[in-house]
Amino acid sequence: MKIQLFQFHVAYGNTEENETKITNWFNEYLDNDTDVVVLPEMWNNGYALEELEDKADISLKRSFPFISQLAKEFNVDIVAGSVSNIKNENVYNTAFSVNKDGELINEYDKVHLVPMLREPDFLCGGNVVPEPFYLSDQTLVTQIICYDLRFPEILRYPARKGAKIAFYVAQWPSSRLDHWLSLLKARAIENDIFIVACNSCGDDGHTNYAGNSIVINPNGEILGHLDDKEGVLTTHIDVDLVDQQREY
């Protein structure tokens, strides 16, 4: 399986600018034989929390058609990071994924909100654990958001259900970079699972984001790793290694 992670600076409170960047990157950087593209957390408006009541998507009515069209046009599965999203009069941090046919194959609301970034003041936490779901090639995977990484039990459920890849999407701060790298490696090792983690980078005027998007195999070995600048991480993984690792 060939995976490309798009690590970029998310424009603060500017959905149109972020959509334009994503579209341009698909046109410029996507390889023809890529199976999955991964985007970072909150890519529509970033952490413009005080503006989200006006700027957040509503039930994915803008974000899903945008990603769906890209998936169909480029014939690729998209683990579409997450977006600020209004449902039932509350704003959620909603992750979703779309297959090559443009169909919604996963939706998950971030459960654990970050006190240090004042998320609980502006967002509503989800109350459902991340479920495993199938990519177009029938690989069973799961999708988890940023701060949820600090809670190992979040991944245990989909891993025990047979997920072979855990996609973590994030806007993880530079001040906690060591935590990001250590926890991702721990999740790979303790669950015998591939970890594919896509972070944002750059400074939004409030927080500097760490980048360091990374892919780790079930034995805890790093297969690919970016620095703190914008870039595309391209890796190939053999999902059969998960079953081999879990037999030991």
Residues labelled as active-site residues: 41, 110, 146
User: What are 166's strand-pairing partners?
Assistant: 142, 195
Q: For 32-82, give the DSSP string.
A: TT--EEE--TTTTTTT-GGGHHHHSEETTTTHHHHHHHHHHHHT-EEEEEE
Read off φ and ψ for residue 246, nearest 5 degrees: -75, -15
Tell which residue, 133, 197, 183, has the closest CA to residue 161: 133
SS3 1: coil
Residue 64 near residue 98 (C-beta atoms within 8 A): yes
Task: Output DSSP code: residue 131.
Answer: P
Cα separation, 48 vs 140, in Å, equals 33
